[in-house]
């Protein structure tokens, strides 16, 4: 246990809560033990007596948005299996917030302002910020146009386009991300719970990710508002899990129906342990946690 690290973490938590209080956000606690913990194919919830431990508070917070709350956030523990390493943990602290009537631009600005507030709290020089699309990054780093590239163009070692994409992302793109980087316009196949835009040069998911000094901090969606499409994505992800020999995720029907009642909303999940460690310049997340 590192007392100095825990003090740094406490300062960041206080800064974060003050940041959202001054912007009119309501802190909303939601259950940790849930009947359905995830939708994405590559997330692995942990079982507990009576249900599953949440991988994020997303399902419950979106039900709160559908019930009429316009600006909400939560800070709380989340759990994911098969995650290990200096920047991963089975249990970690998540910050998630939703803003009704907003688009991704508003969340990009809020995320930058939050990170800058944390930098100021810890007396760290502000990092330069850059915004770039996924397609631009692949052209810049790999010399590949994602709008036309096949799986074999990306990587000859993978069968599917998405597998090839992620191999190149991890080996080539992520190591190139320095400073603070907002990565926008992801492939439509990786929309998860975001809307898809089809009127551009190629179909893109309306989401962004934030990297800070090479560490992935946050993932944001311009939220899907179609219950039928949400259910279809659940089914597609579960089909992929079954094909890989994994159990399907339970479908949260209350959440699926709530998606169809939500107003226009943007939402984002940010790893608070990672934010603390990345801004403080640590080698991983353990220094700021109780063991």
- DSSP 8-state code for residue 226: -
Average pLDDT for 88-105:
97
The angle at the Cα of 276, spanning 273 to 277, to the nearest 5 degrees, equals 85
Instruction: Kindly indicate the confidence band of residue 199, based on its pLDDT and cuts at 50, 70 and 90.
Output: very high
How high is the mean pLDDT of the chain?
96
Same domain, 115 and 153: no
Q: With left for phi above 0 and alpha for psi between -120 and 50, is residue 34 left, alpha or beta?
A: beta
Is 223 part of a structural domain of the chain? no
**Distance of alpha carbon 99 from its chain centroid, rounded?**
15
pTM above 0.95, yes or no: yes
Per-residue HEC secondary structure of 99-164 comes to EECCCHHHHHHHHHHHHHHHHHHHCCCCCCEEEEEHHHHHHHHHCCCCCCCCHHHHCCCCCCHHHH
Average pLDDT for 66-87:
96
- Cα separation of 186 and 176, whole Å? 17
Is 219 part of a structural domain of the chain? no
Closest by Cα among 217, 195, 219 to 206 = 195
The yes-or-no verdict on residue 226 having pLDDT over 80 is yes
Percent of residues, the chain, with pLDDT higher than 90? 95
Flag the least confident range among 33-42, 114-123, 150-159. 150-159
pLDDT digits (tens, 9 = 90+) for 258-274: 999 999 999 999 999 99
Instruction: Kindly indicate the confidence band of residue 56, based on its pLDDT and cuts at 50, 70 and 90.
Output: very high
Structural domain span for residue 178 = 128-212
The yes-or-no verdict on residue 6 having pLDDT over 80 is yes
Same domain, 74 and 150: no
The yes-or-no verdict on residue 157 having pLDDT over 90 is no
* CB-CB contact of 237 with 251 (8 Å): no
Name which residue leads in pLDDT, 19 or 201.
Answer: 19
The yes-or-no verdict on residue 74 having pLDDT over 80 is yes
Same domain, 97 and 176: no
Average pLDDT for 139-145:
96
Helix axes 3-21, 104-122, angle to 10 degrees: 140
Is 81 part of a structural domain of the chain? yes
Q: What is the CATH number of the domain that holds 109?
A: 3.30.930.10
Name which residue leads in pLDDT, 200 or 223.
Answer: 223
Is 88 part of a structural domain of the chain? yes
Number of compact structural domains in the chain: 2
Is 218 part of a structural domain of the chain? no
Is 151 part of a structural domain of the chain? yes
Instruction: Kindly indicate the confidence band of residue 234, based on its pLDDT and cuts at 50, 70 and 90.
Output: very high
Q: What is the pLDDT of residue 159?
A: 77
Strand bridging mode 180-187 / 129-133 = parallel
The yes-or-no verdict on residue 54 having pLDDT over 90 is yes
The yes-or-no verdict on residue 1 having pLDDT over 90 is no
* Count of other CB atoms within 10 angstroms of residue 126: 12
Exposure letters 75-93 (e unless 16+ CB within 10 A, then b): bbebbbeeeeeebebeebb
Same domain, 73 and 156: no
Domain boundary among 163, 181, 212: 212
Q: What is the pLDDT of residue 291?
A: 79
Same domain, 117 and 12: yes
Is 222 part of a structural domain of the chain? no
Same domain, 56 and 160: no
């Amino acid at each position: 246990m590192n007392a100095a690290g825990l003090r740094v973490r406490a300062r960041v938590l206080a800064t974060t809560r003050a940041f959202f209080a001054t912007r009119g956000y309501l802190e909303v606690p939601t259950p940790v033990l849930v009947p359905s913990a995830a939708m994405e194919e590559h997330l692995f919830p942990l079982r507990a007596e009576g249900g599953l431990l949440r991988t994020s508070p997303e399902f419950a917070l979106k039900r709160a948005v559908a019930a009429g709350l316009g600006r909400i956030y939560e800070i709380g523990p989340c759990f994911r299996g098969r995650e290990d390493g200096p920047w991963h943990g089975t249990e970690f602290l998540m910050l998630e917030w939703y803003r009704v009537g907003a688009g991704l631009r508003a969340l990009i600005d809020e995320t930058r302002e939050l990170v800058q507030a944390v930098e100021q709290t810890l007396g760290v020089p502000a990092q330069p910020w850059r915004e770039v699309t996924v397609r631009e990054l692949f052209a810049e780093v790999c010399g590949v146009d994602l709008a036309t590239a096949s799986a074999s163009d990306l990587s000859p070692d993978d069968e599917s386009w998405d597998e090839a994409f992620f191999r190149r992302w991890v080996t080539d793109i992520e190591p190139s991300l320095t400073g603070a980087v907002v990565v926008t316009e992801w492939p439509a196949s990786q929309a998860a719970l975001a809307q898809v835009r089809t009127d551009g040069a190629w179909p893109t998911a309306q989401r962004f990710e934030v990297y800070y000094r090479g560490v992935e901090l946050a993932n944001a969606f311009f939220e899907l508002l179609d219950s039928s499409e949400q259910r279809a994505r659940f089914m597609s992800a579960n089909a992929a899990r079954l094909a890989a020999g994994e159990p399907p995720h339970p479908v949260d029907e209350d959440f699926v129906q709530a998606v169809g009642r939500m107003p226009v909303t943007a939402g984002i999940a940010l790893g608070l342990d990672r934010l603390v460690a990345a801004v403080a310049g640590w080698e991983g997340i353990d220094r700021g946690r109780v063991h």
